[in-house]
């Protein structure tokens, strides 16, 4: 390739006996065990997570329990308990939290779960009779801290019994294979060691809504294959045989690989993932080129410090609950962000293929409605008073008209009731006028809006040109070692 400069500097070592020669570490290979029950449990788990996000608590709990029937992992019991607690079925939640502890008494969160069980039992206990309440009665139970479902990580190795370290060995042994449990939803590096095998490491990104499986085979082989993966996009992630456990490097990538058939993926934001099937022979070095094509869509990332609870609408349709990420077709779109108690954000957005737009919202609060309600109450009172005074004035008028029509009763123009009725009518007119005025002021304040919410908009094209770069990577060959320099210009 005319854009690829590759310089290889070989350093030759005088080797002693073949048995004493140093060996290069091999890349451990992941493989998915053919376990239909596990795959069914994963499917049930992911359906449960979707139902949980939709706040369909009972259905989510049922799916978690269905996953547990397929594969009795304790995390499934924990998630079902959380869903039942959300559904206010605290007795079911207590039962499942206890089953979770019985299944995994050494769980890292065992102490927190025990405390939660006691708090839920206190909420379920009937209140004491009124007569028994005293000044020394215990205070009501505190509000339980927020809790959510767990993800699941399943780690197996060949050979079994390999020691697992998290991030580095200074923290001591984490577990031994096989292992299943939950890890915090953030990238983590796993180090594997077993006597008589080459140590290996892998980076994974656990999630709360997925089951992550990792199978790693520690290698004893002396002769491995050597591969180089090149793409038209430098810095793209390289995956071998599995994508859900994280990338093993970036393009241009070089490393050892176990002989046999393998699948290589190359992925980067803004491009369609490239895939290639390769065959690795022992003791050989091969180069594999994968070309990436630009994606057909744009990405909108909407968020901000106070965006929790807001919803994003695109072209009149609800897209997602913020903060979130949403794909858009190239072209012009009408963006609306709504949040309770805040002024809406509205804008037009024009995007192209592989554009990534970051929308950092700053919400403006709506004006308080206390003044509007005050005017509304005054208007109602004024209208009520005006109607009352008008009715009283009408009663006096009816009395006078009745007396005038009765010859037995003598009435004249100086009847004091006439002045009283007159003042009633004047008061009614004034009260109704005040009611109308305050009613208009109330309506004005209800319709009043504050300054619109704003957003800091940043747009980049993920398929844009990369800066020039050169990378140096070590590599080995049977009987020697070397250094490879690659770059793009």
CATH code of the domain containing 99? 1.25.40.10
Half-sphere exposure of 406 (CA within 13 A, CB side): 10
Do residues 220 and 186 make contact, with C-beta atoms less than 8 angstroms apart?
no
Same domain, 207 and 266: yes
Same domain, 51 and 67: yes
Query: Which one, of 433, 420, 431, 430, lies nearest residue 393 by Cα?
Result: 420
CA distance 457 to 358: 6
Same domain, 288 and 175: yes
Same domain, 415 and 302: no
380 belongs to a structural domain? yes
Same domain, 274 and 321: no
Q: What is the pLDDT along the chain (489 residues), one digit of tens a residue?
A: 333 333 333 333 332 333 333 333 333 334 444 578 888 888 889 898 889 888 899 999 999 999 999 989 988 899 999 999 999 999 999 999 999 999 888 888 888 899 999 989 988 887 666 555 455 555 444 467 778 888 888 898 888 888 888 887 667 778 889 888 888 888 889 988 776 577 788 888 888 778 888 888 887 655 677 789 999 988 899 999 988 888 888 898 877 788 899 999 999 988 999 999 999 888 788 999 999 999 989 999 988 777 888 899 999 999 898 889 899 999 999 999 988 888 889 999 999 998 999 989 888 887 776 777 887 888 898 888 889 888 877 887 777 777 667 766 656 666 777 778 778 778 888 888 888 888 887 787 667 667 888 888 898 988 865 444 444 444 444 444 444 444 444
Which structural domain, as residue segments, surrounds residue 386? 370-447
Same domain, 52 and 93: yes
Same domain, 117 and 234: no
How would you classify residue 165: left for phi > 0, otherwise alpha for psi between -120 and 50, otherwise beta?
beta
Residue 170 has what pLDDT?
A: 65
Residue 413 has what pLDDT?
A: 64
Residue 143 has what pLDDT?
A: 60
Residue 314 has what pLDDT?
A: 93
251 belongs to a structural domain? yes
269 belongs to a structural domain? yes
Q: Element (H or E) spanning 440, and its range? A: helix 416-447
Residue 481 has what pLDDT?
A: 41
**Count of C-beta atoms within a 10 Å radius of residue 422:** 13
478 belongs to a structural domain? yes
140 belongs to a structural domain? no
Number of domains in the chain: 4
452 belongs to a structural domain? no
Residue 65 has what pLDDT?
A: 93
Residue 13 has what pLDDT?
A: 31
Residue 472 has what pLDDT?
A: 41
Residue 449 has what pLDDT?
A: 67
277 belongs to a structural domain? yes
Same domain, 167 and 260: yes
Same domain, 325 and 396: no
What is the β-pairing status of strands 298-303 and 355-362? parallel
Q: Which two tokens mark 466?
A: 């990369």
Residue 132 has what pLDDT?
A: 52
132 belongs to a structural domain? no
Give helix then strand counts, H and E, for the chain: 7, 25
Same domain, 249 and 319: no
CA distances from 26 to 197, 220, 255, 344 (A): 10, 9, 8, 56
Same domain, 216 and 240: yes
Q: Which CATH number do you get for residue 483?
A: 2.60.40.1120
Same domain, 277 and 227: yes
**318: Cβ–Cβ under 8 A, 6 or more apart, which residues?**
311, 312
Of 124, 144, 171, the residue at which a domain comes to its end is 124
């Amino acid at each position: 390739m005319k854009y690829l400069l590759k310089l290889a500097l070989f350093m030759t070592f005088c080797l002693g006996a073949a048995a004493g020669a140093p060996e290069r570490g091999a890349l451990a290979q992941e493989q998915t065990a053919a376990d239909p029950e596990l795959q069914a449990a994963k499917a049930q788990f992911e359906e449960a997570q979707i139902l949980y996000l939709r706040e369909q608590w009972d259905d989510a709990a049922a799916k978690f329990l269905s996953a547990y029937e397929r594969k009795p992992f304790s995390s499934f019991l924990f998630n079902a308990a959380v869903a039942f607690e959300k559904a206010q079925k605290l007795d079911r939640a207590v039962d499942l939290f206890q089953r979770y502890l019985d299944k995994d008494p050494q769980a890292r969160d065992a102490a927190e779960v025990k405390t939660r069980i006691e708090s839920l039992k206190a909420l379920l206990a009937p209140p004491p009779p009124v007569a028994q309440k005293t000044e020394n009665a215990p205070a009501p139970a505190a509000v339980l801290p927020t809790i959510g479902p767990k993800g699941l990580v399943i780690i197996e190795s060949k050979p079994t019994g390999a020691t697992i370290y998290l991030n580095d060995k200074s923290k001591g042994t984490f577990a031994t294979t096989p292992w299943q449990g939950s890890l915090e939803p953030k990238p983590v590096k796993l180090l594997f060691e077993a006597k008589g095998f080459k140590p290996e490491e892998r980076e994974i990104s656990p999630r709360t809504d997925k089951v992550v499986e990792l199978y790693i085979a520690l290698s004893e082989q002396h002769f491995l294959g050597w591969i180089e993966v090149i793409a038209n996009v430098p810095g793209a992630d390289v995956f071998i045989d599995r994508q859900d456990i994280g990338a093993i490097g970036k393009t241009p990538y070089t490393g050892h690989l176990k002989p046999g058939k393998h699948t290589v993926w190359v992925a980067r934001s803004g491009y369609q993932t490239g895939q290639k099937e390769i065959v690795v022979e022992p003791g050989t070095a091969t180069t594999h080129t994968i070309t990436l094509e630009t994606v057909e869509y744009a990405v909108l990332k909407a968020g901000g410090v106070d965006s929790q609870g807001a919803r994003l609408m695109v072209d009149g349709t609800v897209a997602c609950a913020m903060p979130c990420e949403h794909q858009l077709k190239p072209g012009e779109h009408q963006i609306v962000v709504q949040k309770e108690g805040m002024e809406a954000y509205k804008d037009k957005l024009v995007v192209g293929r592989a554009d990534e737009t970051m929308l950092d919202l700053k919400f403006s609060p709506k004006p308080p409605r206390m003044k509007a309600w005050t005017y509304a109450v005054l208007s109602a009172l004024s209208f009520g008073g005006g109607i009352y005074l008008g009715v009283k004035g009408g009663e006096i008028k009816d009395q006078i008209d009745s007396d005038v029509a009765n010859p037995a009763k003598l009435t004249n123009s100086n009847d004091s009731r006439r002045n009283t009725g007159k003042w009633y009518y004047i008061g009614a007119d004034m009260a109704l006028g005040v009611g109308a005025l305050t009613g208009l002021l109330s309506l004005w304040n209800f319709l009043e809006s504050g300054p619109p919410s704003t957003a800091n908009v940043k747009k980049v094209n993920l398929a844009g040109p990369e800066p020039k770069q050169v990378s140096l990577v070590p590599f080995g060959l049977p009987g020697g070692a070397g250094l490879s320099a690659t770059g793009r210009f």
